[in-house]
Amino acid sequence: MELHLPWLIVFLPWGGAVVLALMPHGDGQRGRLPAAVNVGVAAASLVLALVVMGEEFGQQGWTRTDALNLPFVLVGAVIGLTTACFSFATVAAERFDDLRARAYHAAFQVFMGAQYLALLSDNLGVMWVAIEIATLASVLMVAVHGTAAAVEAAWKFFILCGVGIALALFGTILLYLAAQPVVGTGDPGLSWGALVAVASRCDPGVLSLAFVFLLVGYGTKAGLAPLHSWLPDAEAEGPLPINAVLSGLLLNAALFAVLRAKAIVGAHPGALPPGPLLVAFGLLSLLLAAFALWRRRDARRLLAWSSIEHMGLATFAFGIGGPAASLAGLLHMLGHSLVKSAAFFAVGAAAHLKGSQKIADIGGLATSHPGLGWALALAMAALAGLPPFTLFLSEFSMVVATAASQPWLLLPLGLGLLVAGGALVTAMQRLCLGEPTPDRPAEGAFALPGGLLWASIPTWLHLVLAALLALAAPAGLAALLRDGARMVG
């Protein structure tokens, strides 16, 4: 059997996970080697992702590379690397014992591999299995501290997402049932490429039912209302570095699966149009999160609710449809990944410094720690949709596309954007400006030479990338995103 290059991106992190699980970690205070290996594996994955970007697109057995998934693979690899670096700088403060440190590092790499597989898979069954593996690995990462709160959060995450992915499997089976009379038995029945090609000849009723199950199932994993309630709990517990990959990558992979389903069902004119359903789920998530944001007292929960808001916005854009709105949706997903993980890095470093993740305990960060404080301020401003970052660009194009096709939807959209933006700017002022609160650093935090600097660099890097994506995206990447938007439809 030939080993294709895209398969290596999946197998490399999984191999790394085995090595990390077998490696002695000491008591987590001294041994920095495992954290360094973790960084090395993530860096090698990024190199591989760049190489695959340069290869010709096509299908390799159960995987495919196309304009839709490669930007997500690339951004995922970048965030994987920066998260590993942030983890290298702060993992000592998590105070893991040997077993927990092994579980944490191995689960991180298993998650990364599953994440790449979910994006790259052509076979929808394989995609489902990949999202399931990513769920199991992230549940383990959330529960790894073993405190009562962590176990409760992980349990809620597990049960709700368990129901979600079970419904998604039912939707996958229904898709095959719809395609079976046309494509016959065997692997093509679940191949995305084959399904898109034959969708217009499949039974529209079965396709519609399949889409409803896939949307509700994967939508639960993407943090869409009304089944979003696992997300704030999961984000508030667990080691700090994993927030970045939970919000930045896991939600994207699930929404990406919805996009693949939309492309299939949207290809049949007689099937239930996916647009209105996506608009409804998107607006519900946006409005619910926009008002919920005002009541948060915990910085990590605040950012988790903001993820629900942004996933809702992206879903809304895909629901509006057409090349412009879909492009805005894709850009929004990528920009949100970069900016949200930057904000989580900064909040994580601040929580280690102040010994608390309550908003009231983190104040005046820009005065006491300017490098970190201004990074957090910029990241929060970017999340509120202020220029010059990419979320401003995508939200602006969303509004323009909505005005062109469904002007009356501007009212709820604008309301959501303003209420959520206001809440985030208010929270930013409380976190970053004003009187500094006293530092109570967690034991072991920032023990590296250079200390806080190492935790701030990933944040700044993400902000620079998010600004570049908006102002000066490379022509190749922009063309790729436009092609991807056409595939979503």
Q: Enumerate binding residues for another protein (CB under 8 A).
A: 123, 125-126, 128-129, 132, 135-136, 139, 143, 151, 154-156, 158-160, 162-163, 165-167, 169-170, 172-174, 176-177, 180-181, 184-190, 203, 205-206, 208-209, 225-226, 229, 232-233, 236, 292, 295-298, 301
Least Å distance, CB 185 to another protein, is 3
Nearer to another protein, 297 or 440 (CB): 297
| Whole-number Å distance between alpha carbons of 17 and 170 | 30
CB of 145 to another protein, least distance (A): 12
Q: Compute the least distance from the CB of residue 474 to another protein, in Å.
A: 38
Q: What is the C-alpha separation between 54 and 56, in angstroms, rounded?
A: 7
* The two structure tokens encoding residue 419: 């209420």
In the bound complex, what is the minimum distance in angstroms from residue 84's beta carbon to another protein? 25
Which value, in Å, is the radius of gyration of the alpha carbons in the chain?
A: 21
Structure tokens at 113: 């591999």
Closest CB 152 distance from another protein, rounded Å: 8
Helix (H) / strand (E) containing 58: strand 58-60
Return the number of the residue (169 or 432) whose C-beta is nearest another protein.
169
Nearest to 60 by CA among 131, 125, 8, 134: 8
- 100/486 with CB nearer another protein: 100
Q: In angstroms, give the least distance from the CB of 100 to another protein.
A: 14
Backbone φ and ψ for 234, nearest 5 degrees, come out as -65, -40
What distance in Å separates the CA atoms of residue 385 and residue 129, rounded to the nearest whole number?
A: 35
Q: In angstroms, rounded to a whole number, what is the distance separating the alpha carbons of residues 314 and 329? A: 5
Nearest approach in angstroms of CB 272 to another protein is 10
Inter-helix orientation angle 70-90/98-120, to 10° = 170
Q: Which of 220/326 has CB closer to another protein? A: 220
* Residues recorded for the chain: 489
Q: For residues 87 and 123, which CB has a smaller minimum distance to another protein in the complex?
A: 123
String of DSSP letters for 85-123: HHHHHHGGGG---HHHHHHHHHHHHHHHHHHHHHHHBSB
Minimum distance from residue 275 beta carbon to another protein (Å): 20
Q: 208 vs 397, which CB is nearer to another protein? A: 208
User: What minimum distance in Å lies between the beta carbon of 287 and another protein?
Assistant: 13
Please report the DSSP string for 189-256 in residue order. GGBHHHHHHHGGGS-HHHHHHHHHHHHHHHHHHTT-TTS-THHHHHHHSS-TTHHHHIIIIIHHHHHH
Q: With respect to another protein, which residue has the nearer C-beta, 145 or 462?
A: 145
Nearer to another protein, 94 or 237 (CB): 237
Are 479 and 253 in contact, with CB atoms under 8 Å apart? no
- Rounded alpha-carbon distances, angstroms, from residue 418 to 61, 350, 395: 46, 27, 11
CA 399, 223, 257, 319 dihedral sign is negative
Nearer to another protein, 59 or 180 (CB): 180
